Every structure is written in C-alpha cells, then in structure tokens.
Amino acid sequence: MNHMDRKRVRAICALSLCIGASLSHASPPTDPARMVEDFDAQVAARDSGARLRRPAAQPSDSSLRLVERLNSQVLLSDGRDATIWEVNDGGREGFAIRAGDTLSVSVAEEDGLHVTGYTRGSRRVDHNTIPNAPEQFMPEYKDDTVETGDQQGDQTDSQDGKPPEVRVAALVHDDVELSDEAILAAQFTRWIKHMETEVMPEGKVYVELRRRVAGVTDFTYGYDRALYDWRDAVTKILSPQEPFGYVRHLLLVNGKHVEPGAAGYAFLKGYSGMASVAYSSDVAAHEIGHMLGGVHERAAQREAGLLQSCVTTMWKEAGRRVPCYTYSVGNTALIREYHHLPPL
Ligand SMILES: [Zn+2]
C-alpha cells in the first residue's frame, strides 16, 4: 500500500466513523433483542442513583443516556401506557418512548426525524425517517381559526383549585401509515416537554392516540369548512367530556392540507381541530395552541444560534423558516391566562 492509498483508506475510515456517529441510534446493537431490557435496567439504575450509562454491546449505543422522564400521561391506540424520556443520544437531544414490550428512540437529523424501534426478544430493528417539511410544503395556516363554534363557556380543567390539565385525544386518520410512536416523536414529544417545563409546569398533559373510530377517523377532509363537519362528526360519536374529562379532539391526517391551503385548522379556545402529520413539524402543536388560546399575532422570531433564526409555533407561515418548537412568551402568557394561571 503506497502513501496515497493509506491516506485514502484513512479518509474512508474517517468518513464511515462519521456516518456511524451521526446515525448512532440507527446502528443496531449486537443484540437488539436486549435493547428494551437494557433500557429498563438504565431506568432502574437511575432510580438507585447509579451511573446512567447503559451497558451496551457497541460503543455507539453506549452513548444513549437518560436525561429526564416526562411527567405527562400518554396512551397508545392499542391501550398501552407509554412513558416518554428525554434522552441524549451521542450528544444529541432525543426522546425515547417506552411502552409494553417496545422501545422507540427518535433523534432529529438534518433530513428529518429518525425513529428506531426495538421489541423485547426480537432481533428486528425498525427504522423510520419522517422528513422535514420541504420548502414547497408551506405549513400554512392562513386564518386557520374560527372564533365561534365549539367553545363551551371557556371550560378548562383548571378550575376548583386543581392543577391545570390539558387533554388531547389525537384521532389518527385511517390514511396515516405512521406508527403511534412515530406520530408521538414527530408531533408531540417536543411539545409535551415544552408544556411541562416552560408553559404549564404546575399542570399535566394527557395525550391519547385513537384509531379506527368509525365515522371519525374515516372523515373526508380537504375542502372549505371541513372543520365544521369534523366537529359535528366527532361530537356525534365522542363527547368532549370523554373519555377522561374535557378533551381536545385533534384529527391527524396524512394529507398536506386539511382545508385548501391550510396544514391545520382549529377552533380558537375550542375543542376540535385538524392537523397534517405529513412531515415532522409542529402542526399539531400549532393547532393545539389555538385551542388553548394562542394566536398568530403573538408569535415571534428568535435567534437560534449563529446567523440563524427560528419562528415560534404559532407563526402564521412556518414554511422556509426553522421552527423553534416552542410557543412565544406572548402566547405562553395567553395559554396561562386561558387556564386562569398567573404569569410565569
Ligand atoms: Zn394558526
């Protein structure tokens, strides 16, 4: 091997190491069948104050660390309770969803959200990439709120001195092929963390995913005023008081537009909304934001590192701009006001 060849080999090695590092969560461990147990062992070790580093077969996997367990309650469409952990995967922030015999780890990469799924006792590893919204897909909202319709006397679950609660029933349209875990990772985990830590730290968030509800998840959408028909359809079958108190019904669809030109639509301070989950973005959080009192006028642009800025979740047209995945200070204040909470 001459000097040039060696140099080339070194360059190739460096490149493959680089790929290995950037996709560390996607690299299957020597025994993927043990991933769920290893994760649970790390959770147990954390409770006993031991080191968080998970015993792993590959160096790339050993970097998966638990950061914090989210307090919210999440129910999957098959009835399993899910716990969500903020994790650190090789230095990058991600989330792990643990439910029954499965573990799902998601990390945001440049091309989208990478979701890796493991099942206890199985060597199969599921990889899923949910692409970022491309420029031609403008998560446009236009005037995606209707002021009247399904307000119920400003009913929130924060009365009687009880801790405030936000309950969302995410009704997954029959045309959505994403798994529950992928939907949670793409649309809900960052929002849940933000709600818990920065919007309503004294409260609790409940998210329930539901599928195959006849007359609801087979709803035809995509036309003007579809939101009204959706509200009528869902309230005929599911009461806003069910299954566990006042619930915001959010229809999640595979199509890019729930009404012409709008990626989402919702009643302001209401109980019915629709959101596209075609891409990894914050359309669901935007529509829930409206249902909790958030408005476009209070959205803001923020610095997001050197020479980069991001727009907060209630920004009217999020396309071509980096999402911050947080509500602005102004919208956080509105959401708290709606829940009768003092300013933070
Ligand atoms: Zn909007």
Distance 324 CA to ligand 1 centre (A): 15
Question: What is the CA(288)–ligand 1 centre distance, in A?
Answer: 9
Q: What one-character-per-residue DSSP string does 20-40 give?
A: HHHTGGGSPPS-GGGHHHHHH
Rg of the chain over all Cα atoms, to the nearest angstrom: 21
Q: Among 233, 289, 281, 221, which Cα is nearest to 257's?
A: 221
Of 53, 60, 64, the closest CA to residue 30 belongs to: 60
Which tens digits make up the pLDDT trace of 327-344? 999 999 999 999 999 998
Q: Is residue 5 part of a domain?
A: no
- Is the backbone peptide bond immediately before 28 cis, with ω within 30 degrees of 0? no
Distance 323 CA to ligand 1 centre (A): 14
**Is the same domain home to 96 and 36?**
yes
Amino acid letter at 221? Y
What is the whole-number distance in angstroms between the Cα of residue 70 and the centre of ligand 1?
26
Give yes or no: residues 254 and 292 share one domain. Answer: yes
Q: Closest Cα to residue 116, out of 179, 44, 31?
A: 179
Q: Separation of 213 CA from ligand 1 center, angstroms?
A: 26
Same domain as 261, residue 114: no
The answer to whether residues 212 and 240 belong to one domain is yes
Distance, in Å, from the CA atom of 328 to the CA atom of 298, rounded to the nearest integer, reads: 7
156 and 261 in a common domain: yes
Are residue 168 and residue 59 in the same domain, yes or no? Answer: no
Asked whether residue 117 falls in the same domain as residue 153, the answer is no
**Has residue 167 been placed in a domain?**
yes
Same domain, 314 and 196: yes
- pTM equals 0.84
In a domain, 308, yes or no: yes
Residue 77 maps to a domain: no
The tens digit of pLDDT for each residue in 268-283 reads: 998 999 999 988 788 9
C-alpha 229 – ligand 1 centre gap (Å) = 19
Same domain, 27 and 116: yes
> Which residues are near ligand 1, the ion (C-beta closer than 5 Å)?
141, 144
Residue 18 covered by a domain: no
Q: Are 264 and 286 in contact (CB under 8 A)?
A: yes
The pLDDT of residue 20 is 37
DSSP string, 169-208: EEEE-TT--S-HHHHIIIIIHHHHHHIIIII-TTSEEEEE
**Rounded distance from Cα 244 to ligand 1 centre (Å):** 26
Q: Tally the domains of the chain.
A: 2
| Domain identity same for 175 and 64 | no
| Same-domain pairing of 93 and 118 | yes
Residue 12: per-residue pLDDT: 42
Residue 321: inside a domain, yes or no? yes
Locate the DSSP E strands across the chain.
64-69, 73-75, 81-89, 92-99, 102-109, 112-119, 125-131, 145-146, 165-172, 204-211, 248-253, 264-267, 272-276, 301-303, 309-311, 322-323
CATH number for the domain that contains residue 272: 3.40.390.10
Please give the pLDDT value at position 71: 93
pLDDT at residue 55 in the model: 37
- Give the structural domain span for 101: 23-70+82-131
One-letter amino acid at 77 equals S
CA–centroid distance, residue 286 to ligand 1 (Å): 6
- Under 8 Å CB-to-CB from 166, ≥6 apart: which residues? 157, 195, 200, 203, 204, 205, 206, 248, 288, 292
Pairing, β 264-267 against β 272-276: antiparallel
Q: What is the model's pLDDT at position 54?
A: 38
Residue 61 is assigned to a structural domain of this protein: yes
Low-confidence ranges of the chain (pLDDT < 50): 1-2, 4-28, 50-61, 152-154, 157-158
Give distance in angstroms: CA of 296 to centre of ligand 1.
6
Residues 280 and 172 in one domain: yes
Q: Which of 92, 109, 131 is the last residue of a domain?
A: 131
